[in-house]
Amino acid sequence: MFILSSPSGAGKTTIARKLLAADDQLCLSVSATTRPMRDGEVEGKDYHFVPQPEFDRMVEEHEFLEWAHVFGHSYGTPKAHIWNGMKDGKDFLFDIDWQGTQQLNQRASEDVVPVFILPPSIDELRRRLIARGTDDAKVIDARMERARAEISHWSEYRYVVVNDDIDRCFAQVREILHAERMRRERQTGLVRFVRELMAGPPPGA
């Protein structure tokens, strides 16, 4: 479970898109949310957009791996898809906040790789949020407030990357993904491979 968290506007969505395009072993965890759909978003691709009663039912019936309130709306990761994919050896990319990261860490810390993306400065963060053009001034102020709160959780993450250049940031995040895949305990089939290696004929035989 490869988690990318950041305040909105730090470039997390761009990095996530680039990773998914570059790596066919990686699937996106599509969250459920009660927030309204933004222009250009697609149901089932960006989010599963659900009404609050449906979200509450999913919470009641333990259908979420984690869930949280963010900006006055509810967001959650549906379990079934993730567990099934992981059984098939797939890796999942999560675009979730610090609250969700804490919950996944508590449930399955061995399987979790938490990465935090920082903006190069607060001014740049505001500039990027305005340039995105999806939110009005009041929402941007709220997001800036929220950004400070999100950033305060940076030290709970195993990796922290500053996004002052999108290509460099992407390359660094990709290196993290590659290195984590090489960890001994994640390399399935290694025990058998080494056993066969050791059972081979001795030198000179």
Going by the annotation, the residues of the binding site are 6-13
Asked if residue 70 binds ligand 5GP (CB under 6 A), the reply is yes
Region of 11 on the Ramachandran plot (φ > 0 left; ψ -120 to 50 alpha; else beta): left
Candidates 31, 34, 105, 163; binder of ligand 5GP (CB under 6 A) is 31
Residue 161 β-bridge partners: 117
Mark the segment that binds ligand 5GP (CB under 6 A) among 62-70, 158-166, 171-179, 189-197: 62-70
Binding to ligand 5GP in span 167-186, by CB under 6 A: none
| Contacts of residue 56, Cβ cutoff 8 Å, sequence gap at least 6 | none
Choosing from 9, 11, 100, 114, the residue that interacts with ligand 5GP (CB under 6 A) is: 100
Contacting residues for 109 by C-beta, under 8 A, at least 6 apart? none
Give the interface segment with ligand 5GP, choosing from 51-59, 70-78, 118-126, 197-205 (CB under 6 A).
Answer: 70-78
Closest distance to ligand 5GP from the beta carbon of 200 (Å): 48
- Residues contacting 4, CB < 8 A, separation 6+: 12, 15, 16, 93, 94, 95, 115, 117, 173
Return the DSSP state at 37: P
Residues lying near ligand 5GP in the complex (CB under 6 A) are found at: 8, 31, 35, 66, 68, 70, 75-77, 95-97, 99-100
